[in-house]
A and B are shown apart, each in its own frame.
Chain A
């Protein structure tokens, strides 16, 4: 894997253009199907123009998940329905990256419309996990995590609606953050479930992830849920957890958890204890209802958000028009993949007359109880630690045929989105050569404490120094 400091050193020894050019050579063969679009010309042009740029990411190549709008670069959400769509504007995070001097080398693969846990629902085929190409990279930001793990780029952006940054970070052995809801503007992020999702940074180590986070976080009036205020998150990169209290929710070590995962995460808690933190078990009794509540809410919001895709203003349009209902229905049936249709159907049902109270309103009430679980658990503790995923990466094709089985894999990531708290995943072990992720969750707007905990863990372990062997 590559770090920002290695890239900056290379640039000082040669030039941003040469560094970006060699990055494009690494990406070119697309060995793990990480990229949907490679923006070769614009990347080289930006690198030339950024010579001498003094921003914190001057000349640093970055890959962007394909649901984040990039002006002039195709943005597909890995869906047929948006094939050929060229956004006429940049997302807020892209504007921030450009100001910081970063070079966008391309758009990376994902589950279609970010609906999935394995990057297998992409219209452009699955991304492969660089640690073992027979396994999935996780999802939905699978391309983002896999390209960092493969050493193709040092940085990537993903988005996290129910674990979509943390799951692939866990499966690919990299670091990924889901910030507090509202900390990063969603302007230009193509919505799937807008009350749950945040854009999140992915890197090979905690310091790089934090630097990227620092660049993209901040208020934007174009997103009404964006919170005012700016912070200097890199100040939290301190190797010290003395006096920190860790909560360990036993519900996150439930049925179906892999033994190696359980052991690695507990080893992690004990390592932090050796370094001066203390830990206690905490109870989060509504955790087992989080999956059902999450999927009801996410699918309901999806059915509404995806209503805009009708082929009129962008995307797929069929040759012949009929009456409006037949025309839209045919375009949408051909443009969306199976999982997207399933979620639109379920969301439409959950919001339909007679069922709204039973499903949607009920799920929103359970969401309140889950949020209260977090508030209670974090009253007596500073952070919560748990496995990011109950298992290491599973095999390609293993779960895709049974939607419900695949949904179950998100059991430890969705509560965080329902409650809006921040959470980081970082590597804490290996099982049969596959990485294991440790999840550190914190209080609303207290990214600093989870970053400090993650940084201390990383400084005192060597998991982040391991990388897959890639040809």
Chain B
């Protein structure tokens, strides 16, 4: 069982501000889904390898060639805040 405190912490990890009044509802819903996920414990997977990818592809290479890419104006065209042709982010430090 996870608690409202856990949900608040998960919200912090996921960069989702949790409102105090939502915490209980989320906690109940998350617990009922996690409880359902618990049925996976019934399956014996001791000898089973995980499937990360359904097709057995690996090491997909391409030639190292210069191709067209977005211009700086196109790249920042959707940014809500920009300065001198750059994305403008909040203060980090």
Q: Interface of A with B (CB < 8 Å)?
A: 84-86, 88-89, 181-182, 195, 221, 224-225, 227, 286, 289, 291-293, 295-296, 303, 307, 310-317, 321-330, 332-333, 336, 341-342, 344-346, 348-350, 352, 359, 361-369, 371, 403-404, 407, 418-420, 444
Considering the complex, give the chain A residue whose CB is closest to the CB of B80.
Answer: A317
Q: Which of B71-93 contact A (CB under 8 A)?
A: 74-81, 87-92
* Nearest Cβ on chain A to B25's Cβ, whole angstroms: 9
Q: Is the CB of A404 within 8 A of B32?
A: yes
Chain A residues contacting B41 (CB-CB under 8 Å) are 362
Chain B residues contacting A330 (CB-CB under 8 Å) are 17
A and B contact pairs by CB, cutoff 8 A, 21 listed: A182-B55, A227-B55, A292-B40, A295-B37, A315-B78, A316-B80, A322-B90, A332-B15, A333-B18, A336-B16, A341-B16, A342-B26, A363-B40, A364-B50, A366-B43, A368-B48, A369-B48, A407-B33, A407-B36, A418-B54, A444-B55
**A296-B37, A321-B90 in contact; A364/B78 too (CB < 8 A)?**
no
Q: Which of A84, A85, A316, A362 has the most CB of B within 10 A?
A: A362
* Nearest Cβ on chain B to A22's Cβ, whole angstroms: 33
Chain B residues contacting A311 (CB-CB under 8 Å) are 80
A39–B77 alpha-carbon span in the complex (Å):
20
* Nearest Cβ on chain B to A295's Cβ, whole angstroms: 7
7 tightest A-B CB contacts, nearest first: A420-B54, A364-B50, A317-B80, A314-B78, A365-B45, A333-B17, A321-B90
**A224-B60, A330-B17 in contact; A289/B51 too (CB < 8 A)?**
no
Considering the complex, give the chain A residue whose CB is closest to the CB of B88.
Answer: A312
Considering the complex, give the chain A residue whose CB is closest to the CB of B14.
Answer: A348
Considering the complex, give the chain A residue whose CB is closest to the CB of B49.
Answer: A368
* Nearest Cβ on chain A to B17's Cβ, whole angstroms: 4
Chain A residues contacting B37 (CB-CB under 8 Å) are 292, 295-296, 350, 359, 363
Q: Is the CB of A303 within 8 A of B43?
A: no
B contacts with A: majority SS: loop
Residue of A289, A307, A312, A420 near B39 (CB, 8 A) is A289
Q: Is the CB of A310 within 8 A of B15?
A: yes
Residue of A303, A312, A361, A369 near B79 (CB, 8 A) is A312
* Nearest Cβ on chain B to A182's Cβ, whole angstroms: 5
Q: Is the CB of A345 within 8 A of B89?
A: no
A341–B14 alpha-carbon span in the complex (Å):
9
**A365-B48, A368-B50 in contact; A344/B16 too (CB < 8 A)?**
yes
Chain B residues contacting A89 (CB-CB under 8 Å) are 70
Residue of A322, A362, A418 near B40 (CB, 8 A) is A362
Chain A residues contacting B76 (CB-CB under 8 Å) are 313
Cβ of B2 within 8 Å of any chain A Cβ, yes or no, is yes
* Nearest Cβ on chain A to B31's Cβ, whole angstroms: 11
A152–B77 alpha-carbon span in the complex (Å):
33
Q: Is the CB of A404 within 8 A of B55?
A: no
Q: Which of A312, A332, A371 has the most CB of B within 10 A?
A: A312
A106–B60 alpha-carbon span in the complex (Å):
34
* Nearest Cβ on chain B to A217's Cβ, whole angstroms: 15
* Nearest Cβ on chain B to A227's Cβ, whole angstroms: 7
Considering the complex, give the chain B residue whose CB is closest to the CB of A82.
Answer: B78
Cβ of B57 within 8 Å of any chain A Cβ, yes or no, is yes
A367–B43 alpha-carbon span in the complex (Å):
11
A363–B90 alpha-carbon span in the complex (Å):
37
A352–B10 alpha-carbon span in the complex (Å):
9
A365–B81 alpha-carbon span in the complex (Å):
44
Chain A residues contacting B87 (CB-CB under 8 Å) are 312-313
Chain A residues contacting B75 (CB-CB under 8 Å) are 88
Chain B residues contacting A350 (CB-CB under 8 Å) are 37
- Extra contacts, 8 of them, besides A311-B80, A330-B17, A352-B13 (Cβ < 8 A), are A88-B77, A221-B62, A225-B57, A289-B42, A292-B37, A322-B90, A332-B15, A361-B50
**A181-B55, A333-B18 in contact; A315/B80 too (CB < 8 A)?**
yes
Chain A residues contacting B77 (CB-CB under 8 Å) are 86, 88
